[in-house]
Amino acid sequence: MKSRAISQALRNPEKYAPLLAIRNEREYEAAVARLNDLVDEVGDHPKDPRYRFIDTLSVLIEAYDEEHHQIPDASGVELLKFLMEQHGLSQGDLPEVGSQGVVSEILRGKRELNVRQIQALARRFHLPAGAFLPEIERRRDAV
């Protein structure tokens, strides 16, 4: 069965090529849309056979991002505020960060993002986790 699927893919590369490499913004947008659809369908079920494809597609998107989309020098909180505005999100729309109260404290600088929250935000917004780190840590990591 698998060898037959591979043979079909090799005979119809135009159907699968956008899923194997991202070469331009159109393919990038299509890959992000496909990834979002898959995440919605599969959720957090690593035993689902499509879960491996989510991992692979995430790597392709991240590689394209690193090469073509510069992350501005901003704090993790500034980036979070920007993303919330761009996506029309309220403090209550970020359960991966915590309750509305926790999000409020983070946005006001009363609390810092922790590793779990950073990883969850990176997955949600398809960004490298380093984008949410304080500027000093990003510079140190780059050295």
63 and 83 inside one domain? no
7 and 62 inside one domain? yes
Mean pLDDT value across residues 99-103: 93
48 and 89 inside one domain? no
Confidence of residue 84 (pLDDT cuts 50, 70, 90): very high
Domain boundary residue, one of 34, 68, 102 = 68
Domain boundary residue, one of 18, 40, 68 = 68
Q: What is the 3-state secondary structure (H, E, C) of the chain?
A: CHHHHHHHHHHCHHHHHHHCCCCCHHHHHHHHHHHHHHHHHHCCCCCCCHHHHHHHHHHHHHHHHHHHCCCCCCCHHHHHHHHHHHHCCCHHHCCCCCCHHHHHHHHCCCCCCCHHHHHHHHHHHCCCHHHHCCHHHHHHHHC
Residue 4: is its pLDDT beyond 80? no
Q: CATH no. for residue 108? A: 1.10.260.40
Range of the structural domain that residue 106 is part of: 76-142
Residue 18: is its pLDDT beyond 80? no
Higher pLDDT, 89 or 11: 89
pLDDT in tens, 26-61: 888 888 888 888 888 887 788 888 888 888 888 888
pLDDT in tens, 62-73: 888 888 876 567
pTM above 0.85, yes or no: no
Higher pLDDT, 33 or 94: 94
Split into its structural domains, the chain has a count of 2
